[in-house]
Amino acid sequence: MTWPQDPRRVADPFGERAPLALRRSVDVLGARVEFLSDSAALMALAEAAYRDLPAEGSPQVQLQVELRMAAGDAAFDGEPPRPQMLGGAGVVGAAVDAHNHVLVMPALRRALVQLSPALLAHGYHARYELIEFAVFQLAARSQGLVALHAGAVSAGGSGALLMGVSGAGKSTLALHAALQGLEVVTEDGSFVDPTGLALSGVANFLHLRFDALGWIGDPALRARVLASPVIRRRSGVQKYELDLRGGWARLASRPVRLAHLVFTSAELRADGALLEPLPRDTLLARLHEDQAYAMGQPGWARFVHACGDLPGWVLHRGSHPQAGAAALRRLLMG
């Protein structure tokens, strides 16, 4: 009889008992998320996303995300492949290849992220498309939140969703809103309780096109943006990844009440009011059109019903992003 060279591998063929000595906990999206990992490099990616966020108070649920380094590896020829979504039997996830994937189990309040050294060389994709994906999916599905592709700003506990097509200037608008004293709730991932319309997000980064520098007059802020890492979106567009943390911008520290639905427009309106009210029927139609992904979520019908009495607006582009930010400020602060 011939025995395997490494009997330990037979005892643990899936590698599931490999020790995870590193532990970090963060409070995010109403949950306490505990990260466990066997790799300092993987833990550093999680910390880059979630360190130094404003304290939210008492978390409602406890979640756990395992970050494991893949045993095998295969180099990428250029940019890593786009993750492919998967799901079934109470599990959702995404897979780049055999070495890089994420599995989210909302009923167990746990997720597994496996990354290879090759994907670690593409830190933005590894963090944004797998680690942040795991946290967002786990937090939203375990708490029944509706996930929206929208930014959000707030003042005095009231928030405004910022929706619109990519390239409409939502991130630049959020930056200038922050410069005018509004709180940043999130850049492009908003989460709403469909019953009470509590709005939350993660205010860690703003991704700014290079031409956004032309709208920044403050030398210190220009220097901060220029010193930021440059990331490359799947579309090929390169952007500065500006870290909102560190005390220079106001960040929402707890969920706010959703009070306004704002659709950004690329149409220039240099004179006159930038905010145009939307009739209810038009508002709901725009909401369905803009949030095609969210429409398939369990809480969508309740969310839309709850939004029925909210005011909706089109925010036209002004001669300077400051004008749009000022319009948002007046909307939220009166």
- Give the containing element (helix H, strand E) for 217: none
pLDDT tens digits for range 1-35: 455 555 555 678 888 888 899 999 999 999 999 99
Where do the domains of the chain lie? 7-143, 147-333
Q: What is the DSSP letter of 272?
A: S
Q: What pLDDT score was predicted for residue 6?
A: 58
Does 272 score more than 90 pLDDT? no
Is CATH 1.10.3470 the classification given to domain 147-333?
A: no
Q: How far, in Å, CA of 317 to CA of 13, rounded?
A: 57
How large a percentage of the chain has pLDDT more than 90? 84
Both tokens of residue 325? 């930010």
Does 166 score more than 80 pLDDT? no
Q: What pLDDT score was predicted for residue 7?
A: 54
Contacts of 8 (CB under 8 A, 6+ apart): none
pLDDT band at 92 (very low <50, low <70, confident <90, very high): very high
Mean pLDDT of the chain: 93
Q: How far, in Å, CA of 302 to CA of 304, rounded?
A: 6
Q: How far, in Å, CA of 197 to CA of 302, rounded?
A: 10
Query: What are the E-state strand segments in the chain?
Result: 22-28, 31-37, 61-69, 84-88, 91-95, 101-105, 110-115, 146-148, 151-155, 158-163, 183-186, 190-192, 198-200, 205-209, 230-232, 238-243, 256-268, 275-278, 312-317
pLDDT tens digits for range 209-268: 999 999 999 999 999 999 999 999 999 999 999 999 999 999 999 999 999 999 999 888
Q: What pLDDT score was predicted for residue 28?
A: 94
pLDDT tens digits for range 122-162: 999 999 999 999 999 999 999 999 999 999 999 999 999 99
pTM above 0.85, yes or no: yes
Contact between 23 and 54 under an 8 Å Cβ cutoff? The reply is: no
Q: What pLDDT score was predicted for residue 83?
A: 97
Ramachandran category for residue 226: left, alpha or beta (phi over 0 → left; psi -120 to 50 → alpha): alpha
